[in-house]
Structure formats: structure tokens, C-alpha cells
Amino acid sequence: MTVAFNTQHTGDRSRDHRGYAEPFTSEQVDGLLSEDWLRRMVGDIRNGQEELKDRLPYVCPHYGRFKDNHRSQANIIPEAFTFMTCVDVDDKELVEPAIERTKELIADEDSDWQELILRMDYSARKKLHIWLRLPVGKTIAETQQEFCDEIGVPYDECCVTPERFIFLTGIDEEIYRSPLWIKDLSEEEIEERREAYLNRGLDVDGRKLRKGGNTQGTVPQCSTSSAQQGQSPCVAEVALGASLAAFDLCAEQAGLNPAEMDLWGVHNWHANLMAVLSIGVAKLMSREQLRAVVAQRLPNYSQTEDCGKLIDYFYEKYDADKGFMNTALREINAKAQKSGAEESAGFVDLDEESELPRLPRMPLGVRDSIDAAGKALAMPVITAICPCIGALATGVVLDVHGQKKGLNLIAYIAGDPASGKGSIDPLMDAWMCEVKAVDKMYQDQEDEWRAKMRASKNKKEQPEEPKLPVRFITLNNTVANLAERLANVVGKHAFSFTPEADTVAQKWKSSVSDFSVMLRQSYDGSRYDREARSPEAVNVHIEHLLWNVTMCGTPDALYRVVTNYTDGFQSRIALARTPDNTYWQLEDKPNVLTPKQEERIRQVAHLLPLMQGEIVLPKLETKGREWLEKIRLETMMNDDRVKARQRIRICVTTQRMVCCLMLCKVCEQLIQKHGLNGAEVQLKQNPNLWKEMLLKAQTPQMLGTYDVIADSLMENALYFFRHRIENAFNSRDYAGKVNQRKRIGKNDTIFQRLDHQFTFEQAMQQSVAIKGADVTINSVQQMLKNWGKQGLIEQLEDGKFRKMESVISH
């Protein structure tokens, strides 16, 4: 393996060619590290001669060579990518803790990083370099950010540029070296890594592709001076056409004219950019692209410190560049890509597999389920199988916000006819195979009892009805039968699946409220009682109702299953949508569940019931709280009460789903290490083993699924139910509705100060006067919308608003 080196500089920047980098073999590298002069130079630097640092040899960790030996982005050779990077720990107080944590990862056989840590060495100033092999499919930035999170050091976004170099010290400064350090990857490994990038729409070295060539747009250079001033040091050089189009469309959505946004002064500049950011423009491009766009659309404001802080605030507070897109944003993105097709490198890919690059490599069983259904159905599959996993891991109790509950989940997969929902059916059978086999034995016993009943129906003595714990329960059932089945399970999860949700709507048509109550109580694991006067009727007393359910159906069937939008049933459902495949071509080889995939699913399903006990996952809890706070701030800004309420249970549901995925990861690690039989023995002999492994499974990669799942659940809940929830809570029939409006708060003051007839601009001016310059277009629009719903105002044909006479007289 070769790496790009420079040993020819003298420290005189006026004469040195700092862009020179020639290929060095691994033997040459080792020879250089052993040189006495290098060891002496490092010692002199530490003794105060810091000017010598510029004379140290340096290595480019990311590429083995450059065109013409010239270290620059323009001369990058993608095929010379090393699949390595180097994390730089500059805070001296964090150096030793980082070393200790890295050593723990090296020693941890269950760590994803164990074989990826290649080398540790001290820098000339006794700071730290950690050399890493990139995980398959991960970019330089993703790898550095995840590893920094893992060892608890700040991530430096300036350390990921392709042409970056690292000053070398010597062999005496080496703390750790892996046998894989500067070793050649096999052709198969290289091909696998390149293919993983290409599948993400990236070049073979992980950079974004541009049409008409095999290179990426210039990556921003980092300015040391700007970094020292506390401003974001990376600034994009060119705003892409698609990025500009997206910004303009978001501005129009916010009610602004993009051409006039820079004309009104600092307070309005801030308010204008805030309005565009609130629409979600930051989700459509990188932070650097947004800076470049703002430099064109708001050239005066872009020069201010306030502008940089506002942009950074949105990316850091709302994680905007990873957020899930709503329908309006998807439409904006599609239009922007079309108008700037030749400059689309700064956009999120929104094809049918757009969520896949954001998901890490899924564990055994889950990965096979996705492959069997097709990658475009990744989120529907994950949503559908998590209730299965939670039911199988019936002994696992997860602590969420201090409340200990089982992995109780209810899922609904919505999709148009022939949209792929049918591919989920065989997955249910594979996951629940062992449960259904045991149930078959119980059902045979019940059939035998029924035969005896028929044979002795005229006899005085009747055979006693067996109470058998059938766990896979059909939804084509009566309330009484279902309640009895759930009571017989005795402390374990029951599971129900229907490929046609209309089965529920038709069978439970007259008692859908009973269905809703039972599922609500099963989600919470609360007590369920059912009594009847007749001695023949079923009496049921269940201390903790444990019942997971997965339903597939059309969107309109969903509305026949969920008919009440104020009782909390809707917020307990994990919703997923199949992609619109109306115009898809038929696959040459359609995705099917293969025997090998089915066997791997069964292996994981076999181990899950062996896990028993309570578990607290602090990193997952922290992740959930961060997401909750992000949505809380976002919804406060827009006064979006529906979304704010949805977030509470979505957070709990997502934590349970991610826990399910992590349990599969534990099973995968045990199977890989011990085989299926050995894994079973390990879990039986060491009942706490799964807990220890689950704590370690809280890796940045696994925790990264949280945002993807939570954002997806939120998007779908709002897509299907937002207007129905709003109408239900605003209905006169809603018992919690306060009929007489109390005039309190700033919005009422704004209302009082407005004339009988007023314009949007006047409402905006009064809002700024009362609330300050941070008022957004969105918040004013929402305020007016709320006034309309409350019967306070009506909108006239000319776009103006008028206060209602009844309100004025009151």
C-alpha cells in the first residue's frame, strides 16, 4: 500500500512547495519513522523550538498519490483512496482519556471499531493522532464524527478535507499499531467498499459525483483565522443552481420575495432568513452550500456574525441536514433538482431508497428481512417486524423516561394496492415460525377437545375446556375470544398480524372502541379486566396486557381502523408508508425471501426469548431526549401543537424499536462468535450476558437509526392524521374544548392593536413590535390560521383580514 508523503520541505514557506506529495510504500514509511534525525527533531520541538514543526515530514492519510505529485483537490485520484482517515485530538486534557477509551475499543471483541483502529501516536506537541480504517460505506466525515462521539472528543469538521495532511513524529511516539496498519486491502475488499459508495450515489472514494465527470465539486478549504474567531471556518466557494432554486422556493413558501430579502436592515434580514430556515431549506443542502446561497441572496447580511450564528444554530439545534422531509419539502426539492439538474451535487437524493444511506448496516435477521422485501421497503419492513421482535423478546423490560415497560408495539403499514405490502407476509411467518409451531400443537389439542365435545354433547359429563397459551392470535375474532386468548398467554406477549386491515374494520365494526381500548392498554402494558353476568360468558383479569400487533392495509382502511383522534390510540401506532411504485419497471429478479434469509431470521428469533430482565440504556435515553427537545423547540417556533403532542409517544415508540434492533445485533454477535447452539448455551449459562452486550451495542451507528425512525414516524403520523386531529380537537363535541376564549398573552395584545380590517404586513409589524425581531413569517401565518379557527377573523377576497362582528361587540 502507498501513502502520499512530503519530506522535501525545509520550513521556509517562501521556498517550500507545500503542495508536493509523492507515493511512499509501507517499507519506506517504517524506515522514515525509525530515523534518528526525526526523533531528535521531535525532542527539539518539545523543548521549545516549535518553528521546527514545519520541517517535519507529513503524510496525506486519505490518498496514496496525487496527479503530478501535487497535493490538491483538483489533482485527486479517486482510485488512490486509502479508505483511511486520522482523528486529531487537540485538547491536551482529552488526550489520555481518548487513549484509554480507544484501548478499550481495541480490546472489546464486540466493538464495531476493534479492527478499524489502525494506529495511535503522539504529535510533536504531545497531542494525539488516531488512524482509522473507514467502515464500509462510511465517508471520511461520517467516520470521524462517529468515532469522536464514541471516545468523547469534539469533532473537527476541518479535519476531513481530502487533501489534508498530518505531521509525522517517529516510532518512539507510537502508542499502538495494528497489524493492518498500511497493509494492502484485497481486491474483493476494495471492490466491496467502492460498490458501497456507488450504491449511495457517491464516487469510489466517497465524494459526491458530478454529472459529466468522476470528480466532485471543490470541498471547502478551512481558514485558521476564521476558526479562531469562533465563526464556522468552512465556506463553500460556489452556490449550486439547485441550491439557489431550493432557497428561492422555500422563501416563496414563507411568503417572501427572494429578490427583496436583502433590502430592509438587520432585524428584517434576521427575520427573513429565519422564515426560510423554518420552512426547512437547511434540510435540502449542506451547511456550506447554504452559506454560499445566503452570500448571494443576502450579501449584506451574510457578512455579519449574526448570520453565521443563525445558520449554525439551525444545523446544531435541529440537526437540519439529517432531518426527515415532509411532503412540501419533497416537492420543493424535486422542483429545485429539475431546475438545477446540472448542479445537483448539494442535494439529498430522494429516490425510492433515499432513507437507506442514513441507516447503518442492519443486524442479522433485520438485514435479511429488508433484502427479502427490497431496499425501497426498508422503513415499512423495519416498522412491521419490530412488533414481532418485541413479542419474541417478551422478557425484556426497557426503562424509558424512568418507566419500565415491555417492548410493546403496534404497527400499521399503509400502501396502495400492489405497492409491495404482500412481501411483508412471509416475513411475519419467518419471525414467528417457532411460536406458530408451538401454537399448532395447542390448536391440535383444542381441535381434539372440540371433537370430544361434539361426541358427548348429550352426555351428563362434558370434557373440560383446556386453557392453552396460543400466542399468534388471529384478528378475525370476537372480543370475548380475543380477551380469553390474551388471558391464557399468562405473562408473555401475544402477537397478531393481518395483511388486510379491513379484517379488523369489518369484524370489529360494532365494537371498534373495544379494539381501541385493548390496544391502548396493551401499548402501556396496563391492567385489563372484562366481566360478564352470564356464567357462560368469559371473565378476564389480566395484570399486564401484552399484545403486539402489525397490520397492513390501504390508507382508507387505516381510517376505518382508527376512527377516534382524541383518545390516544392514533399516537400509539407506528406508521409506515410503502413507496409509490405506480410507474416502476418490473424487476428482472423480484425480491423474495430465500431459504438462507429465512434461516437467519429464524436463528435470531430463536435467541430472543432467552433474554429476560430489566435494562436501562442511557445513550438511547439521551438520544430520545435530544430528539424530543429538537421537536419541542421547532414546534414552539411555529405554534404547532399537533406535532408537539405527537412527539411524546413517538419518542417512546422509537426507543422501543431501536432497542429491538439492538437486541438483534446482540444475537448476531453471539451467533457469529459461538454459532446458534453455542449462543443459546451462552445466554442460558450467563443470564446477564445480553444486558452487557446490549449496553455496548449503543454505538453511534445504531443510535443513528433513532432519528431516521423517529422522523419517519412523525412524518407519516402528520401525513395521515394532522387535519383529522385538528378538526377533532376543534370540534364542539370535544369535551375538553373551552367555549369562552380567555384573552391572555401576546397574541391577544396583537389582535387588540389591529384595525377592524388589516393586512398580513400589518399583522407582521404588530407581531414584531410585541414579540421582537425574531418573529417568523410562519409564526404569523399560524397565528392568523388559529384566529380563523377560533372564529375571530375571516379572510377577504383581496387577501386582507377582517375581525368578526361578534368578537368586536364582545
**Residue 287: CA count within 13 A, CB half-sphere:** 22
Tens of pLDDT, residues 243-265: 888 899 988 888 888 877 776 56
- Which sign does the torsion angle of CA 762, 763, 764, 769 carry? positive
> Which pLDDT score is estimated for 340?
58
Q: Is 519 helix (H, G, I), strand (E, B) or coil?
A: helix
> Which pLDDT score is estimated for 375?
85
> Which pLDDT score is estimated for 571?
92
Taking residues 229-250, report their average pLDDT. Answer: 64
> Among 100-114, 158-172, 262-276, 322-336, where is mean pLDDT lowest?
322-336
Q: Is 340 helix (H, G, I), strand (E, B) or coil?
A: coil
Helix (H) or strand (E) segment spanning residue 786: helix 777-789
Residues 294, 307 contacting (CB under 8 angstroms): yes
How many C-beta neighbours within 10 Å does residue 156 have?
17
> Which pLDDT score is estimated for 204?
86
Helix (H) or strand (E) segment spanning residue 487: helix 479-488
Nearest to 564 by CA among 376, 721, 748: 721
Residue carrying the nine cell digits 454529472: 211
> Which pLDDT score is estimated for 232?
35
Please classify residue 548 by burial: count the beta carbons closer than 10 Å to its beta carbon, then call 0-12 exposed, 13-18 middle and 19+ buried: buried
Q: Which range has highest mean pLDDT (191-195, 283-287, 607-611, 715-719)? A: 607-611
Q: Is the pLDDT of residue 433 over 90?
A: yes
Percent composition of the chain: helix, strand, coil (DSSP 3-state, to 5): 55, 10, 35
> Which pLDDT score is estimated for 731?
62
The rounded distance, in Å, linking the Cα atoms of 595 and 756 is: 72
pTM of the model: 0.54
Tens of pLDDT, residues 290-311: 888 888 888 778 878 888 888 8
Cell of 699: 454505538
Cell of 596: 438462507
> Which pLDDT score is estimated for 532?
61
> What's the start-to-end Cα distance of the chain, in Å?
83
Q: How far is CA 459 from CA 168, 453, 462, 465, in A?
A: 94, 9, 7, 15
Tens of pLDDT, residues 133-151: 999 989 998 899 889 888 8
> Among 195-204, 271-280, 693-702, 781-790, where is mean pLDDT lowest?
195-204
Cell of 736: 375538553
> Among 166-175, 458-467, 701-710, where is mean pLDDT lowest?
458-467
Q: Is the pLDDT of residue 743 over 90?
A: no
The rounded distance, in Å, linking the Cα atoms of 162 and 205 is: 10
**Residue 667: CA count within 13 A, CB half-sphere:** 28
Q: Is 799 helix (H, G, I), strand (E, B) or coil?
A: coil
Please classify residue 229 by burial: count the beta carbons closer than 10 Å to its beta carbon, then call 0-12 exposed, 13-18 middle and 19+ buried: exposed
Residues 590, 423 contacting (CB under 8 angstroms): no
Between 729 and 382, whose confidence is greater? 382
Cα-Cα-Cα-Cα torsion 772, 777, 779, 780, nearest 10 degrees, comes to 80
Tens of pLDDT, residues 13-59: 444 445 677 887 777 888 888 888 888 998 998 888 887 887 888 88
Mean per-residue pLDDT over the chain, rounded = 81
How many C-beta neighbours within 10 Å does residue 761 have?
10
- Amino acid residing at 696: K
Tens of pLDDT, residues 362-391: 899 999 999 899 888 999 999 999 999 999
